[in-house]
Chains A and B, each alone.
Chain A
């Protein structure tokens, strides 16, 4: 098992958003701006990495019958930590992400990785898997958030990029914009993947 491969699979091959299409709720909801997307993505990455590590360390001690409650307790703990730390040091981000931070608990990417990967693999690989998946999730959110912020609001990281007299396309900030952008991104990724397969 190569660590690099484990890491990269989360970024591209098994990207949780574009390939596995998991955890769509925050993907569609908090990607109205690039900064919110990054905040959400990094919070989820921290939770994912720490829960993967804990689950992997405890994997031999947790009886299979109660593994899901055990995983959820572990995940909820790290989510609560993120919630408190964000509230303490990044109050504005915490306020704009609002309910989506506590909702990381039910993000299926995290439980999915605990169940499918961390409970079967060594801690070091579980950390790498968590980081790869988390950063893949962050990257996807960031791309989607940037596209929507640029097209829908005419800004990037809050700085205006539109020339005088140009109007942004409001639709991209609204929920349909999320679906449309996500659809095009997934289609684009599939097209690239197809080409790679036929060439390779």
Chain B
């Protein structure tokens, strides 16, 4: 009986120790999270700013604090207006994400131009904000992103999308549709499909709601500009 009891005590002690260690770890992490939350938010904003300025054509003015959120199907996307000197929206950058990556969400910024009519809409360029794809394979989506001249990034992932029109045929991976414009990264078809999918999906949404989005962006700009 007493032997059983001591074995029992031993088990309880084991469980307690593990619970205590896990609890201590959780407390420590909570403190670090609180301490770094502001800095992480600031760093992410800076990254978004840099990304937005890269995906937009050079001749537009962008203020990343003036945004609207749109609900594209099931996900919320953030829209940034690129304004010309006359104050018209001539480019849109959209912050979206794909859940279909090989490992976790892929955050993507897409710049669209040709906003005169839904038919002329095209992708200006894309920028990968965040990803957790396999290093050496899917992580190649990140290559040469800081460069603004596609000529200098021979074959880099983002250059595949450079200036493509928004339609289902062009924005598809050649493995799925021989007429598509996107050749998948070797051994990273899943990552390529995920990003191509969200560029297309978002593009079609912009196409359908073009006037509404432009109006909303102008409204947001005017409203926040007054403050």
Contacts and interface: CB of A to CB of B under 8 A. Distances in A.
B225 interface: no
A192 to B, nearest CB: 32
A65 B22 contact: no
Nearest to A82: B32
A81 interface: yes
A175 interface: yes
B47 A91 contact: yes
B17 A63 contact: yes
A95 B127 CA distance: 13
Contacts, number: 70
Contacts of B40: 84, 87-88
Nearest to A71: B21
A77 B32 CA distance: 10
A69 interface: yes
Interface in B19-49: 21-22, 25, 28-29, 32-33, 36, 39-40, 43-44, 46-47
B28 A63 contact: no
A84 B142 CA distance: 20
How many chain A residues sit at the interface, stated as a range, is: 20 to 34
B21 A70 contact: yes
A62 B14 CA distance: 8
A73 interface: yes
B25 A77 contact: yes
B25 A88 contact: no
Interface in A65-98: 65-66, 69-70, 73-74, 76-77, 80-81, 84-85, 87-89, 91, 95-96, 98
B10 interface: yes
A63 B14 contact: yes
18 contacts: A29-B135, A58-B21, A63-B14, A66-B14, A66-B18, A77-B28, A81-B32, A84-B32, A85-B36, A87-B36, A88-B39, A91-B43, A91-B47, A95-B130, A98-B132, A98-B135, A99-B132, A100-B135
Given A73-B22, A84-B40, A91-B43, 11 more contacts: A29-B136, A30-B135, A63-B13, A63-B17, A70-B17, A74-B21, A81-B32, A87-B36, A96-B142, A99-B134, A99-B139
Interface of A: 29-30, 58, 61-63, 65-66, 69-70, 73-74, 76-77, 80-81, 84-85, 87-89, 91, 95-96, 98-100, 175
